Structure 1
């Protein structure tokens, strides 16, 4: 057994496996290749068995989502490091070793994210991760190289190694022991923002998350769930509320933050209506109903895990990204930190 496992979660993604597995094999040396199949109903399993019989295939009976699928599949592995990576990612030469070296350099560093660029527009960053995740004072996540929906062109200004608040699940290098000790992803999230929640929980325990701009992958994005899907809108809004309730702590009481988020989600609903997506309003309403119905469980988690004041953590913008983007018209990360 190698010390590192490249672990791809697949759900009905045969076309992505056909397209990208050969590149994974080509550029992934001295690692074990693993595919966790999340109850696919296409011919993904047959394809892997026929074309890549040396890949370790872990089959789950049903789709447990990103969070549950990885949690269940990774129980079968005993490596020192996991590389959690989407099936719609194209890797490049030397994409692994620089990130593993960072993890090995300090046991307090528990996760590393490479530079994630767009597969379809290779000069631009990609939405899910870009040059490393940050978060604003209200709990809205964003990225260096991607503010809201504006993607920056890569001009080699993010080739650094730096501290970030969260690392993207599209390509996430993790210390396996730290992942297990932290309880893995929160399976109640199903999909979306579970990696931010995990990184926030790590941060609450004093751990460090890094971005490495010397390693690059290309992400298609929306390979399993389209960016314009009402379900995606629902999961993003619901899981963000879950995550804030579990982890958020500043001098501002939590109920005020939730009230502000309710107001901003109302504005988002109006925006969706004006842009011709009224179905998204129902998604936001469902997200809030789910959140309110789970407050007791979230309160119990919060009581037992005692979050830290996150404004003192690295990768936090102590102002509102919504205000900066829509009112002050700041579209680039460098404009936020002047």
Structure 2
């Protein structure tokens, strides 16, 4: 008679690729060597212009391949692919993530122990400095009342060294899209990632919806992966800033349950304005224009956002916990740079 420990649900590890052939060559072999029998490894090509598809076909016969004719973005690319992939659980895995041989089993074990867990992320460390937490997720993500994301191990740009201080598996607000383990049926019930985000913060938006549906999000630090970051969009690029500022407004307007959500949006824009002044003083005038473009794009999309806000209410109305303090105030004024100081 098989035990729960022997049970292996089917897991589809899905890597979205856009012009990252060198990263596939470097990291895909490790994914294939994962110690877990009931898995499939998929590469979803987002209309790459390099030789990613040909390289994958010729070097990795065991990898399943989907090729999109156009770049659908991170969110749209995953939605398109996962509509075609059958599994009990999906892992959304960036192409610039190095995994360890036993990274998957702790995620599976935690997931099957409680069906109210919708999504889980592993501990995410820096591939270049493995002792340090990595920006995109660290040891689990949170969100403050003004919509600023932060992590155990990373507050704004301050990254902590991993000394085992965040090794407990706990509830978090969001699981990183760099490596997100998620129940397949719930992914679809929650209507997947919002393709209008294109990239950045769409995983936070999805996790918010899942929590409103009554499910939890976890981090499982017994699983470790190592992330490079900036594999598709370069760090500090105007495009990345545009997506972050615009999508943060999308996130709040869609999901906030406050009757004063419009005030929240206006106040967040004021805070963005302060960021613009800082950028200007730092000689980064182009980013001031980027923030203005992001705000304009938000207002131009408001009709669509309001329709989504109405649809989200139909998914559920379970209470969602936001960090009650302002991370901006805590970090920049009170100089609290570590998660444990907040």
> Could you say which TM-score interval applies, normalised by the shorter chain?
over 0.9
Indicate the residue corresponding to 2:324 in structure 1.
Answer: 318
TM-score by length of 1: 0.95
**Maintained 8 Å contact 2:98/2:225:** yes
Judge which range, 194-203 or 274-283, deviates more: 274-283
Cα offsets for 1:82-120 (capped at 9, x unmatched): 011000000012100110111112221110000000011
**Maintained 8 Å contact 1:133/1:168:** yes
For residue 134 of structure 2, give the secondary structure of its aligned residue in structure 1.
coil
1:86 alignment partner, one of 91, 94, 107: 94
Q: Identify unmatched segments of 5+ residues in structure 1.
A: none
Indicate the residue corresponding to 1:74 in structure 2.
Answer: 82
**Maintained 8 Å contact 2:253/2:262:** no
1:283 and 2:283 matched: no
Cα offsets for 1:270-292 (capped at 9, x unmatched): 11122232111111111101111
Cα distance in structure 2, aligned partners of 1:227 and 1:211: 25
Cα distance in structure 2, aligned partners of 1:40 and 1:250: 41
Cα distance in structure 1, aligned partners of 2:20 and 2:35: 20
Alignment of 1:174-193 (within 5 A): 174-193=182-201
**Maintained 8 Å contact 2:18/2:45:** yes
Alpha-carbon deviation of 1:250? 3.2
Cα distance in structure 2, aligned partners of 1:171 and 1:28: 17
Cα distance in structure 2, aligned partners of 1:55 and 1:117: 26
Alpha-carbon deviation of 1:196? 0.3
2:222 alignment partner, one of 214, 219, 241: 214
Indicate the residue corresponding to 2:263 in structure 1.
Answer: 256
TM-score by length of 2: 0.94
Cα distance in structure 2, aligned partners of 1:44 and 1:277: 35
**Maintained 8 Å contact 2:36/2:105:** no
Cα distance in structure 1, aligned partners of 2:313 and 2:72: 28
For residue 318 of structure 1, give the secondary structure of its aligned residue in structure 2.
coil
Indicate the residue corresponding to 1:269 in structure 2.
Answer: 276
In structure 2, the CA distance between the partners of 1:306 and 1:75, relative to structure 1 (3 Å rule), is closer
Number of corresponding residues: 333
Cα distance in structure 2, aligned partners of 1:141 and 1:305: 21
Cα distance in structure 1, aligned partners of 2:59 and 2:311: 47
RMSD between aligned residues: 1.6
Indicate the residue corresponding to 2:56 in structure 1.
Answer: 48
1:302 and 2:325 matched: no
Cα offsets for 1:116-171 (capped at 9, x unmatched): 00011111100000010000011111111100000010010111100000000000
Cα distance in structure 2, aligned partners of 1:40 and 1:326: 40
Alignment of 1:1-338 (within 5 A): 3-30=10-37, 31-250=39-258, 253-306=260-313, 313-314=320-321, 316-336=322-342
Cα distance in structure 2, aligned partners of 1:39 and 1:262: 34
**Maintained 8 Å contact 1:248/1:309:** no
In structure 2, the CA distance between the partners of 1:230 and 1:281, relative to structure 1 (3 Å rule), is same
